[in-house]
Amino acid sequence: MQTALWNERFSKKVEKGSFEDFKRRAEAVSTEVYLTNIKDAKTILQEIFKRENAKNIIAFKSSLVDNLDIDKIAKDMNINLFFEGGKKEANIADIGISEMECALAETGSVIEWSYPVWKRLVSAMPGVHIALVNSNRIVKDFEALFDLLKEKFESGHISFITGPSRTADIERVLTIGVHGPSKLIVMIIEGGEQ
């Protein structure tokens, strides 16, 4: 969904959730959470890229991704960056970066409307997913979220991403990162809405 449409929806009466509630619930399911501004987010991204020893990054273009100058950061750090592609690029990526439509405080989840397949590849295939959310888009609970979505949900796919991928076998042995990223990093960006 276009950023302008989501901005319009959030300018209406949507019951907002608190960052503290979101963070507490997200961290309870092993999500790394930051509350930051555009300037400091760039520094945090550099630190994450270095810590994860990133060689290849994929990103889904959006206004927030553009505002973070990820292309410049990647170039300065000698990291390959793909803004488009397919499974090949997604398979070699160490980190995927995409803007989420909102965050759900009730569960610590981020919500992704992903009609384009590329956006789903960015959030699902690399070992690390960095989810970007504008700070004014934290929704209190499911009721508020579904009120928001029913206004005009277009065709596509909605993902509720809650923590890193977890899978258990028949013996209930938990494994992280088998069917998706082994790390989820959520950056709540203040002043990211344009």
- How does pLDDT run along the chain (194 residues), one tens digit per residue? 445 555 555 555 555 678 899 999 999 988 999 999 999 999 999 999 999 999 999 999 988 999 999 999 999 999 999 988 788 888 899 999 999 989 999 999 998 886 677 788 888 888 899 999 999 889 988 888 888 777 756 666 788 887 765 565 666 665 655 556 778 999 999 976 65
Q: How far apart are CA 193 and CA 126, in angstroms?
A: 26
Task: Compute the C-alpha angle 63/143/179, nearest 5°.
Answer: 60
Q: What are the residue boundaries of the structural domains of the chain, listed by start?
A: 17-190
CA distances from 57 to 91, 98, 184, 188, 194 (A): 10, 11, 15, 20, 24
CATH hierarchy code of domain 17-190: 3.40.50.10420
> 3-9 — which CB contacts under 8 Å span 24+ positions?
3/62, 3/63, 3/64, 3/99, 3/194, 5/152, 6/101, 6/102, 6/137, 7/193, 9/148, 9/151, 9/152
pLDDT of residue 4: 52
Q: What is the pTM of this model?
A: 0.86
pLDDT value, residue 118: 75
